Amino acid sequence: MASKKGIVITAAIVIGIVGASFLIWTIPQSSPDTVIAPPRSDAEILGDIYSRHNNLAADLESKFNDWKQGEVTSESMLAQISLDRSDIQNMRTQLENAQPAQEWQESYDLYVQALDSFLEYVDAMEMRVEDNDKSDVDPEIDGLKMEWENYVDESINAVRFSE
Separation of CA 7 from chain center? 49
Residues 60 and 109 in one domain: yes
Residues 22 and 12 in one domain: yes
Residues 22 and 43 in one domain: no
Residues 77 and 142 in one domain: yes
If we measure between CA atoms, which residue out of 39, 51, 159 comes closest to residue 108?
A: 159
Between 6 and 96, the higher pLDDT residue: 96
Helix axes of 42-68 and 139-162: crossing angle, nearest 10 degrees: 160
Residues 56 and 7 in one domain: no
Q: List, for residues 12-46, the tens digit of each pLDDT value.
A: 665 656 555 555 555 555 555 555 555 678 888 88
pTM of the full predicted structure?
0.73
**Mean pLDDT, the chain, whole residue set:** 83
Q: List, for residues 77-109, the tens digit of each pLDDT value.
A: 999 999 999 999 999 999 999 888 888 899 999
